[in-house]
Amino acid sequence: MDKTLEEDFEESSEQTEELFERMSIKVDKGQEPMRIDKFLVQRIENASRNKVQQSIDAGRVLVNSQTVQSNYKIKPQDEIIVYSDKEVPGEKIIPEEMPLNIFYEDEDIMIINKPPGLVVHPASGNYTGTLINGVAHYLLKQNSQLSEENLPRFGLVHRIDKNTSGLMVLAKNAKAVSSLAKQFFNHTIQRQYLALVWGDLVNDSGTIKAHVGRHQRFRKLFDAYPDGEHGKEAITHYKVKERFGYTSLVQCELETGRTHQIRVHMQHIGHPLFNDDTYGGDKIVKGTVFSKYKQFVDNCFEICPRHALHAKTIGFIHPGTKKEVLFDSEVPNDMRLLIEKWRGYVSKK
């Protein structure tokens, strides 16, 4: 039942795309009554009875918008939705002790404030030193009933790029995985990022709508496709917080969560992220090339030696309490100093 990604994950950069996909099935009018687990095994390619039952038990199968038991008998015209996780091929988790900035934790979820430079999840050829390796060690130490053999996937329902800092939510049990997966898929998760981008945006706010998909020539890059002929639908809402003449501090809110979405969308409208060496922000994009200004920009690159993007807030319906929660983090030191430097530059002009 678990599906693999159609394209390999990059080894050097983690993804922002949600890790769950959805299959919808409408039962035919002439369908005879049948247990739902048996029905899904017949309808889903490469599905096993055990995998189907696990998904049902985890609440990842809905019939007419309600969870059911494995012995539920389907009826004609039933509408079935199956959420399945897109498991990374060759996945291997090696627990490693490392410092974790746990922003919040309860029995259902963990909110982690990820530092820049830390890859989120092991991938082919990169099985150690990731956030999930650290979480595995933490959970083993916390729960004596767990072992390396029965470690869960920690409910990793979304990712942020290696060099993006900020808040991530991880689920600690099947109930939380199911709840968060549905919220991510339905685009009801609140996610606000803070970015320093090149240029002085014309409008104070706006919405960018352009599909995001693999670059047609350079497969490790992503690109925006405004006509929607390639990639997946992507929507980013932005609001200018401060203007520094040659750069702008922008709040970005994700309606969808595609790989590199903010970075690709801002490049698409001519405002790449400051010091984004993948999408053209690691050189002087706006302004002169005179020595004093160039030296100032080079100093800024040294202060924040990565693309200037921080996942500042995340909000959702808590899987356990069913109440809305919102978590907000401070901008990390490198971006804070970068913003202050540009603020000082403007004040001296």
Distance CA 242, CA 240 (A): 6
What pLDDT, on a 0 to 100 scale, did the predictor assign at position 114? 97
Is residue 196 over pLDDT 90? Answer: yes
3-state secondary structure the chain: CCEECCCCCCCCCCCCCCCEEEEEEECCCCCCCEEHHHHHHHHCCCCCHHHHHHHHHCCCEEECCEECCCCCEECCCCEEEEEEEEECCCCCCCCCCCCCCEEEECCCEEEEEECCCCCCCCECCECCCCHHHHHHHHHHHHCCCCCCCCCCCCCECCCCCCCCEEEEEEECCHHHHHHHHHHHHCCCCEEEEEEEEECCCCCCEEEEECEEEECCCCCCCEEEECCCCCCECCEEEEEEEEECCCEEEEEEEECCCCCCHHHHHHHHCCCCECCCCCCCCCCCCCCCCCHHHHHHHHHHHHHCCCCCEEEEEEEEECCCCCCEEEEECCCCHHHHHHHHHHHHHHHHC
Nearest CA to 153 out of 135, 130, 175, 180 is that of 135
* Confidence category of residue 272, pLDDT binned at 50, 70, 90: very high
What is the sign of the dihedral through the CA atoms of 53, 54, 58 and 59? negative
For residue 236, what are its two tokens? 């980013």
Between 36-43 and 49-57, two packed helices, what is the crossing angle to 10 degrees?
Answer: 120
What domains lie within the chain, and their CATH numbers?
A: 18-86 (3.10.290.10), 102-185 (3.30.2350.10), 190-348 (3.30.2350.10)
Distance CA 79, CA 29 (A): 12
86-90, 172-176, 218-222: the lowest-pLDDT one: 86-90
Q: What is the pLDDT of residues 282-306, one digit of tens each?
A: 999 998 878 899 999 999 999 999 9
27-41, 97-111, 149-163: the lowest-pLDDT one: 149-163
Residue range 6-30: mean pLDDT, rounded: 55
* Confidence category of residue 58, pLDDT binned at 50, 70, 90: confident
* Confidence category of residue 149, pLDDT binned at 50, 70, 90: low
Residue range 309-321: mean pLDDT, rounded: 96
How far, in whole angstroms, is CA 199 from its chain's centroid?
26
**Which burial class, exposed, middle or buried, applies to 310 when counting CB atoms under 10 A from its CB (0-12, 13-18, 19+)?**
buried
What is the sign of the dihedral through the CA atoms of 32, 38, 39 and 45? negative
Instruction: Show which residues are catalytic.
Output: 161
Residue range 35-62: mean pLDDT, rounded: 83
**Which burial class, exposed, middle or buried, applies to 64 when counting CB atoms under 10 A from its CB (0-12, 13-18, 19+)?**
exposed
Residue range 197-202: mean pLDDT, rounded: 96
